[in-house]
Amino acid sequence: MTTATDVIPPVTTTGHGAPGSRGSRRVRGIRYALLILFAALVLMPLYVLVVTSLKPSSDVDPSSAWGLPHALSAEGWRSAWDTLAPPLWRSVVLAVSVAVLSAILGAMNGFVFAKWRFPGSHIVFTAFLFGMFIPYQAVMIPLQGMMIGVESQLPWFTGIVKLIVVHTIFGIPICALIFRNYYATAVPTEILEAARVDGAGMLRVFWSVVLPVSAPAFVVTMIWQFTSAWNDFLFALFLTTRQNGPVTYALNELAGGQNPDYPSIMAGVLIASLPTLLVYIALGRYFIGGLMSGSVK
């Protein structure tokens, strides 16, 4: 079982075989050549993005598409920013709210599933996990109807508010899983028993014993939920509009025009991806922790 804090452990030994021998040196050469080749392939789309985004929109000659820009231009970035700034802020509100709400629910659920079980809690947990794997298409039609119904009663229940509610709810399973796996290993049952013998009730144990050591699971869960809310498109497409949707919606609109303005589109991709990329670069090990818990085992 993978816990939330597991990241890829470092190697335990330094190299294998005789380090200086000619054979191993050749193997190492091939290994690095492959590593660099694959890194170049993975980074190729990023190169396209950066290079194209800096070209003036008049530079439309296909044969120079892979070349560096003849003259640097901020035109693409400026026009993409003008289009994407409002939805970008809506996405910030969305992703931050979802991260906070999901983590609170996740801590409560994970604590119970790991340390304060009730009869049948297993079955409930497995039923939760299934909710993590369902194709959201299977709920989308009635969900859309339901959301429109609520909106007709509560006029403020639109766009981003809808998405906050929906992402928080459909994030319950994964967040419960991350916290449960974390608590199962990070909080020794003996400590809880001791607190209980001292007469502490469940909330007291949760608040004073468990929550203070929960920071790593909070970070992993919040990053995970931030990223998935930020990157979501399916819910946005079904539940929001051009006027009140998140940045993925706006980016798709920007890219879908009849006469594509590639510098602006590519700059738009970078702008829309920057927040999650920054999170990934700054907090990569926690990001991987979330990925790992997604694999259940």
Q: In angstroms, give the least distance from the CB of 156 to another protein.
A: 20
Contact between 216 and another protein by CB under 8 A: the answer reads no
How many chain residues bind another protein (CB under 8 A)? 105
Please select the residue that binds another protein; options are 20, 22, 71, 138, rule is CB under 8 A.
Answer: 138
CA-closest candidate to residue 268, choices 78, 95, 48 = 78
Task: Return the range that interacts with another protein (CB under 8 A); candidates 69-77, 127-135, 153-161, 210-218.
Answer: 127-135
Q: In angstroms, give the least distance from the CB of 151 to another protein.
A: 16
Q: In angstroms, give the least distance from the CB of 268 to another protein.
A: 8
Q: In angstroms, give the least distance from the CB of 291 to another protein.
A: 6
- Give me 200's structure tokens: 């502490």
Q: Where in 179-198 is the site for another protein (CB under 8 A)? A: none
User: Rounded CA gap, 99 and 92, in Å?
Assistant: 11
Please select the residue that binds another protein; options are 51, 56, 81, 280, rule is CB under 8 A.
Answer: 280
DSSP letters, the chain, are ---TT--PPPPSSS-SS-TTSHHHHHHHHHHHHHHHHHHHHHHHHHHHHHHHHTS-TT---GGGTTSPPSS---HHHHHHHHHHHHHHHHHHHHHHHHHHHHHHHHHHHHHHHHHS--TTHHHHHHHHHHHHHS-THHHHHHHHHHHHHHHHH-TT--HHHHHHHHHHHHTHHHHHHHHHHHHHHHS-HHHHHHHHHTT--HHHHIIIIIGGG-HHHHHHHHHHHHHHHHH--HHHHHH--TTT--HHHHHHHHHTSSS--HHHHHHHHHHHHHHHHHHHHHSHHHHHHHHHHTT--
Contact between 156 and another protein by CB under 8 A: the answer reads no
Contact between 6 and another protein by CB under 8 A: the answer reads yes
Please select the residue that binds another protein; options are 203, 215, 258, 259, rule is CB under 8 A.
Answer: 203
Please select the residue that binds another protein; options are 161, 162, 218, 232, rule is CB under 8 A.
Answer: 232
Q: Where in 86-115 is the site for another protein (CB under 8 A)? A: 105, 108-109, 111-113
Q: In angstroms, give the least distance from the CB of 160 to another protein.
A: 17
Q: In angstroms, give the least distance from the CB of 150 to another protein.
A: 12
Q: Where in 235-274 is the site for another protein (CB under 8 A)? A: 237, 248, 251-252, 255-256, 262, 265-266, 268-269, 272-273
Contact between 127 and another protein by CB under 8 A: the answer reads yes
Contact between 58 and another protein by CB under 8 A: the answer reads no
Please select the residue that binds another protein; options are 93, 129, 191, 209, rule is CB under 8 A.
Answer: 129
Q: Where in 26-45 is the site for another protein (CB under 8 A)? A: 31-32, 34-35, 38-39, 42-45
Contact between 2 and another protein by CB under 8 A: the answer reads yes
Q: Residue 25 phi/psi, 5° resolution?
A: -70, -40
CB 264 within 8 A of CB 57: yes
